[in-house]
Structure 1
Amino acid sequence: MKKILLLLADGFEVFEASVFIDVMGWNLEEGDGSTKLFTCALRKEIKSSFNQRFVVDYTADEIDINDFDALAIPGGFEAYGFYKDAYNEQFLDLIRRFRADDKMIASICVGALPLGKSGVLNGKNGTTYDSPIRREALAGFGVHVKNQPIVEDDKLITSWNPSTAINVALLLLENLTTKENAAKVRQLMGF
């Protein structure tokens, strides 16, 4: 069983989180049955963008990365506190530990920015939300910012906005299973 940790910051975007939950869940039930997703945050209860409340499976201090095969990080809204959590040292350290163990890390939209701040994208190709301020921030972390919707470099996946979300989740599934299995799940989900 491949276990995916969905790392959520306060102010995370629900849609971007939900694609990882759905794709891995569809794979568990209708694909090859090999993936299970768990949620994690700095606190047990957090709020999404637009202030919906969520209770996560784990807090960051409870995580043993040896129990997981991949990390997924959705983006979020600054107005709802996203960067306060996403740039928190405990949040960044969890990213670094996944990278140190050479595990897949997938992000959507500004979820790439904590990857950049953690240092795991330094010298790598990446992308983020397609606005000048966010692209400049990512470049400031030593990332070679590409003007394309999804960038994959050395087990690190970044993307530029919510429209890429389902494709990022399916690309993560492909990397964890097979191209054929991801295509099957994509077809079953109607994408």
Structure 2
Amino acid sequence: MKKVLLLLIEGFEFYEASVFIDVIGWNMMEGDQNTRLYTCGLSKEVNSAFGQKAVTDYLLSDIVIAEYAALAVPGGFGEYRFYEQAYDDAVTKLILAFHQEDKWIASVCAGAFPVAQSGILSGRSGTTYNLEPGMQDQLHQMGVQIRQEPIVTDSKIITSWNPSTAVEVAFQLLGHLTSPENAATVKALMGFTA
């Protein structure tokens, strides 16, 4: 069983988190049945952007990295305090540990910022929210070689532009964890054009 850890940071976007829940869950039901997703955060209850709350399965301090195959990092809004937790030492250490153990890390939109903060994107290709140039400039200042593409993969790290890319990032992650053929099957069963 390949376990995926979904990191919920204060101010995260529910849509960007939900695509991982659904794609990994659909695989468990209709695909190769070899994935399961768990959530974690700095607290058991995490406020999302727009004011909804989520209850996590685990605290970051409970996580045993060796048990997981991948980490998913949805983005969020600064107005909802996303960056306050995104740059927390515990978040940085978690991301760095996943990378050091050669695990997949998939981020969506502003989820690239805590990934970059860990230092693992330094000198590598990546991207983030593309409709506000200042955000890509900020990511570049963190050592990332910005590519003007919706989804960028470099050294088992996936970054992407905006919420519209989220579901494709989840399918790509599933393809890396299982097989491209399995991911295409799940994608078709979910009603997406393969």
1:132 Cα deviation after fit: 1.4
Q: Does 1:187 align with 2:188?
A: yes
In the other structure, the counterpart of 1:72 is: 72
Output the CA distance in 2 between the equivalents of 1:129 and 1:92. 20
In the other structure, the counterpart of 2:38 is: 38
Output the CA distance in 2 between the equivalents of 1:78 and 1:97. 25
Residues 120-139 of structure 1 aligned to structure 2 (within 5 Å): 120-130=120-130, 131-139=132-140
Q: Deviations over 1:103-149 (max 9, x none)?
A: 00000000001111110101110000012121011101111000110
In the other structure, the counterpart of 2:150 is: 149
In the other structure, the counterpart of 1:91 is: 91
In the other structure, the counterpart of 1:103 is: 103
Which runs of 5 or more structure 1 residues have no equivalent in the other structure?
Answer: none
What is the percentage of aligned positions where both structures have the same residue? 54
- Does the residue aligned with 1:54 lie in a helix, a strand or coil? strand
Which runs of 5 or more structure 2 residues have no equivalent in the other structure?
Answer: none
Output the CA distance in 1 between the equivalents of 2:9 and 2:70. 17
- Does the residue aligned with 1:165 lie in a helix, a strand or coil? helix
Output the CA distance in 2 between the equivalents of 1:45 and 1:177. 31
Output the CA distance in 1 between the equivalents of 2:74 and 2:5. 11
In the other structure, the counterpart of 1:8 is: 8
| Count of matched residue pairs | 191
Q: Does 1:170 align with 2:142?
A: no
- Does the residue aligned with 1:106 lie in a helix, a strand or coil? strand
Output the CA distance in 1 between the equivalents of 2:118 and 2:65. 16
Output the CA distance in 2 between the equivalents of 1:60 and 1:51. 22
Output the CA distance in 1 between the equivalents of 2:168 and 2:158. 11
Q: Does 1:112 align with 2:134?
A: no
Output the CA distance in 2 between the equivalents of 1:116 and 1:92. 9
Letter paired with 1:173: L
In the other structure, the counterpart of 1:60 is: 60
- Does the residue aligned with 1:6 lie in a helix, a strand or coil? strand
In the other structure, the counterpart of 1:160 is: 161
Output the CA distance in 2 between the equivalents of 1:33 and 1:91. 29
Letter paired with 2:104: M
Q: Does 1:25 align with 2:25?
A: yes
Letter paired with 2:70: A
User: Runs ≥4 in structure 1, deviation > 6 angstroms?
Assistant: none
Output the CA distance in 2 between the equivalents of 1:97 and 1:8. 17
- Does the residue aligned with 1:4 lie in a helix, a strand or coil? strand
Q: Deviations over 1:139-164 (max 9, x none)?
A: 01111000110001110000000000
- Does the residue aligned with 1:122 lie in a helix, a strand or coil? coil
Letter paired with 2:14: V
- TM-score, normalised to structure 1, is 0.99
